Amino acid sequence: MMKRIVNSLGRELRMLRQHPRYLILLTVGILFSYVFFLTFMHEGLPENLPIAVVDHDGSYLSRRLCHELNATQGVAVVAVYDTHREAREAMQRQEIFAFVEIPAGTYSAMLDFKAPHLALYSNNAYLLSGTLSYKTLSTIGKLASAAVQREVLRKKGMSETQIMGMLQPVEIDAHLISNPWGSYLPYVLTTMLPGIIGVMALLFTIYMITNELKHNTYQVWLETANGDMLSALLGKLLPYTFWFTLLGIVGNIVMFGGCHFVCRGSFLALSVTLLLFILAMQAMGVFLSGLIPNQHLAVSVGGIYGMLSFSMAGFSYPVDSMPPALQALSYIFPLRHHYLAYAKIALFGGTFTDYWPHLCLLLLFLVPGLMGGLLLARKSVANSCQTSL
């Protein structure tokens, strides 16, 4: 069997040397994805989002509120408008993501111990920017209200301890596990970037197998392995397994080493998880190639399956909050198990007893790969019968 695998491997390496452009383009695409996302999201969260203030009051309080908004890290006050209409039109032109409207008489109402109202408007058509802008405006509004109450209580002669006991009777001590900066990078990119490599491995596997059918070289490929489909597949996919795994490990070195993402567990365990993830995606590629012999249709179905895996992985939207049918469907996507294993290894520093079920589930994806090999072997027999006839 080893000789048959080596023969198939040698043929694949010769073909790769003659036509290296597809693998080169895939490699360039993966490298571009890493450079793009790691530089695009280097701040962890979007900062200096443009907002505006509609100041009808023109008082000391409104000017101070504007300065406090501009001093926050998340937003930047780019304009102060006189009317609500001007701010709304600026939001519609996508010049700002949110604005706060300070009504006339706000400062006077505060001095009279009345409750002035501030109106906050955000454009949630852009969910992330609109939500973050609204969150910052809401936080500043609450802090401004607390500051006014503190000054009033000081005038009444209360001590700082009494004042803080009234303003904040329950103090919250928040701990962001493995991510004290509240950054999106360790949670998003550590799953999305390996997921891109997995999708590339899936599509490339489908393309390389169905390409043999398309160009009528299927029998020649099998003859190099003496008709053994398993040996032919192992020899054909082995160099790409090595290459995609190497790219993933280098990417992990960049993220956990160069970018200083948190890794509380074993880097070797992460590498093994990545290898099993690549094998699982290649196995699904073999299954789809055997199930759908048409190259265009097989690649299209593989693309849909790969894109759905990002939604079903659970790193952006929790699977537990999905309908029961979708929760069950998430198990057929290898990226879901890779994400869970990564979280237990890197974020929580788990041992083998914590993440071994996910590794076993990744290995189970080899079963559809074997089924795909059987379907391809049947096509070989069918082609042989047609040729003899």
Q: Which of the four pLDDT bands, split at 50, 70 and 90, describes residue 56?
A: confident
Average pLDDT over the chain reads 84
pTM: 0.79
Distances, alpha carbon 6 to alpha carbons 224, 234, 323, in Å: 9, 9, 47
Q: Residue 266 contacts by C-beta under 8 Å, 6 or more apart in sequence?
A: 345
Q: What pLDDT does 259 receive?
A: 83
- Each domain of the chain, given as residue ranges in start order, spans 2-41+186-388, 49-167
Q: Residue 355 in contact with residue 269, Cβ under 8 Å?
A: yes
pLDDT at 181 over 70: no
Q: Residue 49 in contact with residue 132, Cβ under 8 Å?
A: yes
Q: Which amino acid is at 386?
A: Q
pLDDT at 381 over 60: no
In 3-state terms the chain splits into helix, strand, coil percentages (rounded to 5) of 70, 5, 25
Which two tokens mark 265? 């567990």
Task: State mean pLDDT over 300-322.
Answer: 88
Cβ-in-10-Å burial (0-12, 13-18, 19+) of 193 comes to buried
pLDDT tens profile 231-257 = 889 989 999 999 999 999 999 999 988
CATH of domain 49-167: 3.40.1710.10
Total residue count of the chain as it appears in this document: 389
Give the CA angle between residues 96, 98, 101 to the nearest 5°.
Answer: 115
pLDDT at 64 over 90: no
Q: Residue 132 contacts by C-beta under 8 Å, 6 or more apart in sequence?
A: 45, 46, 49, 74, 75
- Winning range, highest mean pLDDT, from 98-112, 127-141, 172-186, 360-374: 360-374
pLDDT at 179 over 70: no
Which two tokens mark 104? 């006339």
Q: Residue 204 in contact with residue 240, Cβ under 8 Å?
A: yes
pLDDT at 389 over 70: no
Q: What pLDDT does 271 receive?
A: 94
Nearest to 56 by CA among 103, 100, 111: 103
pLDDT at 152 over 80: no
Q: Residue 379 in contact with residue 232, Cβ under 8 Å?
A: no
